[in-house]
Structure 1
Amino acid sequence: MTQDAKQLFFTRKKEISKEKQYYNKFIFNGHFSVFLVILLGAFILGYGDWLKSIPQHINYALIASVIVAITSMFPLRTLLKDADRLFLLPFEKNMELYMSQSLVYSYFSRIGLQILILIVLFPLFFVINNQSFEFYILFAVLMLVMPYLGLLVKWQWYKYKLESWSLHLVLFIVYTSGYYVALEAKHFSSLTSILVLIGLIILLKYQNKNQLFPWERMIKSEQQHHMNYYKFVNMFTDVKHLKETAVRRSYLDPLLITPKNKKFNENYMYLYLFIRSFARGKDAFNIILRLVVLAMILMFWLHQPLVTLIIGSLFMYIILLQMAQFYTQQAYGLWPQVWPSSDTKVIKGYEQFLYRLMFIVGVLFVIVYAITFPVYSYYGLLFFLVGWLTIRNVIKKLKYQESLLRD
């Protein structure tokens, strides 16, 4: 039975890997790969310039400790499915090996991010500590060991039926204190955090001797993690398994005024539909908002007019390009069936929506560019030019695709 549990996990893991390989073809396409390369180059360039004149009187150890503490809270991936609460219930006593494999999988699924952060932070602390790095080895050990211990604590915590917020609070305090002592005091006493986590594991494991497997909680948690992955993939291609949700954002109500009688027809219907779906949708709005904020931060941070201009133009292109998936979600949804209309009306409404989005994003980018480089502020018009060319290309492709469907 123990081997069956192990085989079940590896079967589930293989299914997940196969699904991710399929979607990776759409995620890491030509456009996105170029975007990542340029973004990486801009970050390295800006980071290198910033390290030459690092601002003083800032507690970088505390800031880094807080950031790394947050990233060290790895999600617990069990790969359980909804039907498992019924079919695996008699198998509960043999689930310990399954969970051991889940913990290892959860750790290695996220350890790459820790290593990346470790590499990024090294030049900063190497410079501010006069090219000394011995203490950083201790910090690296903590970054690699504590997340796995945190997963062990998380499993026992959930099994004991304690609240998630209390777990995250405890882990945040333990992680932050350990990282801060390693970076600021540079002392081996930071290893006390590891001892605290081990003590928690032993204590909770003793208390959980007679506890049952938390099926409902683990299945719900896994479903949420899987849905978050689908939301990310949905930026690049349609995902059949994704469940659309709506969120009320009262501060966007001025954008959703009910059209007047003369605009209450098929000529304006799809413009209103796209704006409303975007403003009320949970996924597209959050994705675009994050991209805009990230672009503005990079534009403020990079102090080279040409590089900043390229970054802003690239983000404008990516933002508008990602909205192409938004068209397929709405144009083939419920409303076109309730109120049938020509596909030219749908495309026209989508084009008007994209121009409005481009204008808002373009204005924000121009303001940031003008504040950062007042002398070259008129160069910000390039953002609108890139947006206009991108929309033309997107609409041209949509019209061609619809013509093929008609044939």
Structure 2
Amino acid sequence: MKNLRDVWSSRFMHYISEVQKYMQFIFTGHIAIVLVFLVGAGGYQYSEWLKIVESDFPAEGLIALIIGVLLAFSRPTTLLREPDQVYLLPLESKMSLYLKKALAWTFWSQVWIVAIVYIISIPLLKAVTELTTTNIWLLFLLVIALKYVSVQGEFSYRYSERGHFVWVDRLIRAIIFGVTVYMGLQMQLILAFVAAIIGCIYVLVFRKKCANEPVPYEHFVKLEQNRMMSFYRFANYFTDVPHLRGSIRRRAWLDWFYNFIPYQKGNAQKYLVFRTFIRTDDHFYLWLRLTAISAIIAAFVDIPFVTWFIAGALSFATTIQLKQALLASGEFRMDMLYPLPEGARKVAVMQVVRLTMIAQAIIVTLCGVTQPMFYVTAIIIFVVSEITAKVSKP
């Protein structure tokens, strides 16, 4: 490598190829169909709601709040690796070349989220405010500029403070930028300008503190590892990620669930599998995430066919992934020492998966109780999960 720009280019190309390798498994045909239904149903619901929205709806405050939060979350992507803590130390005085490239990618990889949310809010702004098209698009440019400032701000804070109490920094930036956007939407341009200047001064304070601080390699390396691990865990829901390291949490607040399994010899495997599901992040958050998505769709989409289709697709995904995950434990387990029947674990996995899907059906049905024919959703979830659990291969 001739210089740090080449180092960044090499790592960036490796990072892009790594992401593309797993994205092809994530965005498969059936996921694309689900996304099309989600976008279509969401767009239809949004357009129908705009026809009846009240003129006094607090659109400015809601949009400012959402945009402010999105602007505040600007975690830097540095692509630093653990050996860099040693091998890049001699080049620390030239690290600004590398970090500029990293911050540029951070901005362009995150700004589209804020831009999409703002563009989606434009029909609402036109429906309940007196903003002109010119005003709306000028505010769009302001939001883009604030995102750039926020990216620089979070990086400078993490650089100078080593990431300690970063939530305080994010809260302050969310408030400042949220107020800036709100004043802009209210056409209080002077107040919006003052709030923006305050935000820039706040960022410059930490940027000046960075001048006398060494590069916090350890913090940025840990941040990068956590970011990539989150991506690998998400990708693991769709395909096997060989180098993924799962994490276990106590979750003492869910201990009372274990009381549903009677204390007797025949339930040993069932207790173990259920405890594995509760304590393993990958299993538990998989069920929680897909259940939450299905519940939100059931609560806000009043098109029964769309709700049934998505609920069925997500129940299929939840069942097959939970079953395979709970059966695919290749490590040594304490239950191997006990004289239990050979197929006891498979039976226990089926029982636990059935319990989780019954819970999912109940939650989704309760969330959609105000929708027409809401009870059909529970039937679809239960039927699809039962067929999937019995037909799918271990």
Other-structure match for 1:309: 308
Q: Contact 2:319 / 2:385 at 8 angstroms: preserved in 1?
A: yes
**What is the alpha-carbon distance in structure 1 between the residues aligned to residue 4 and residue 266 of structure 2?**
61
Residue 95 of structure 1 corresponds to 95
Displacement of 1:45: 1.7
Contact 1:238/1:325 (<8 A) preserved: no
- Cα contact 1:316–1:386 (8 A) shared by 2: yes
Aligned 8 A contact 1:234 1:325 in 2? no
Aligned identity (percent) is 23
Distance 1:151 1:296 in 2: 33
- 1:350 is aligned to 349
Moved more, 185-194 or 95-104: 185-194
Picking from 246, 263, 266, the partner of 1:263 is 266
- What TM-score do you get using the length of structure 1 for normalisation? 0.86
**Alignment partner for residue 389 of structure 2, among 369, 391, 399?**
391
**How much does 1:119 deviate?**
2.3
Separation (CA, whole Å) in 1 of partners of 2:320 and 2:8: 38
- After superposition, give the CA deviation of every residue in 1:48-89 in whole Å (9 maximum; x if it has no partner): 221111256442221221111121222111111111111111
Q: Tell me the amino acid that sits aligned with residue 310 of structure 2.
A: I
Q: Secondary structure, in 3 states, of the residue corresponding to 2:211?
A: coil
Q: Would the aligned equivalents of 1:142 and 1:191 in 2 still touch at CA under 8 Å?
A: no
Q: 1:104-157 CA deviation, whole Å, 9 max, x = no partner?
A: 111112122122212221121121125843322132112211122112122222
Give the 5 Å matches for 1:8-23.
8-23=7-22
Specify whether residues 307 and 366 from structure 1 end up closer, same or farther in structure 2 by C-alpha distance, changes over 3 A only: same
Higher mean C-alpha deviation, range 37-46 or range 288-297: 288-297
Q: 1:290 to 1:133 in 2, by over 3 A?
A: farther
Any conservation in 2 of the 1:174–1:193 contact (CA below 8 Å)?
yes
Cα distance between partner residues in 2 of 1:179 and 1:37: 31
- Note closer, same or farther for the CA distance 1:188–1:311 as it changes in structure 2 (3 Å cut): farther
Distance verdict in 2 for CA 1:97–1:308, change over 3 Å = same
| Aligned CA distance change for structure 1 residues 324 and 64 (closer, same or farther; 3 Å) | farther
Residue of structure 2 equivalent to 1:239 = 241
Match of 1:224 in 2: 226
Query: Which whole-Å deviations, capped at 9, do the CAs of 1:263-284 have from their partners, x for residues lacking one?
Result: 15xxx51x33331111112233
Q: Aligned with 2:151: secondary structure?
A: helix
User: d(CA) in 1 for partners of 2:374 and 2:247?
Assistant: 42
* Residue number in structure 1 paired with 2:117: 117
Deviation (angstroms), 1:342: 7.8
The Cα of 1:325 is off from its aligned counterpart by 5.0
Report how far residue 259 of structure 1 moved.
5.4
After TM superposition, give the deviation of residue 168 of structure 1 in Å.
1.1
Could you say what the CA RMSD is over the residues aligned between the two structures, in angstroms? Answer: 2.7
Task: Summarize deviations over 1:8-38 as a string: whole Å, max 9, x none.
Answer: 1111111111111111121112222222112
Q: Structure 1's 175 and 377: CA in aligned 2 closer, same or farther, altered over 3 A?
A: same
Describe the shift of the 1:371–1:102 C-alpha distance in structure 2 as closer, same or farther (beyond 3 A): same
Q: How many angstroms apart in 1 are the aligned matches of 2:274 and 2:313?
A: 23
CA distance in 1, matches of 2:341, 2:241: 25
CA distance in 1, matches of 2:176, 2:336: 55
2-side partners of 1:156 and 1:209: how far apart?
10
Secondary structure at the aligned position of 2:256 is classed as helix
**Secondary structure, aligned partner of 2:212:** coil
> What CA distance in whole angstroms lies between the structure 2 residues aligned with 1:273 and 1:327?
10
- Assess, with a 3 A threshold, how the Cα gap between structure 1 residues 6 and 372 changes in structure 2: closer, same or farther: same
Relative distance call for 1:35 and 1:180 in structure 2 (3 A) is same
Q: 2:298 touches 2:365 (CA, 8 Å); kept in 1? A: no
1:351/1:391 contact within 8 Å kept: yes
Farther off after superposition, 348-357 or 333-342: 333-342
Q: CA deviation at 1:100?
A: 0.3
| Equivalent pair of 1:249/1:279 in contact (CA under 8 Å) | yes
Aligned amino acid, residue 7 of structure 2: L
CA contact (8 A) 1:309 1:380 kept: no
Which position in structure 2 is the counterpart of 1:65? 64
Q: Which residue of 2 aligns with 1:287?
A: 286
Q: CA 1:320–1:143 in 2, change beyond 3 Å: closer, same or farther?
A: farther
Q: Match of 1:104, as an amino acid? A: A
Alpha-carbon distance in 2 for matches of 1:240, 1:194? 46
Identify if the C-alpha distance between structure 1 residues 51 and 314 changes in structure 2 by more than 3 Å, giving closer, same or farther. farther
Kindly indicate whether the alpha-carbon contact (under 8 Å) linking 2:153 and 2:203 is maintained by their aligned counterparts in 1.
yes
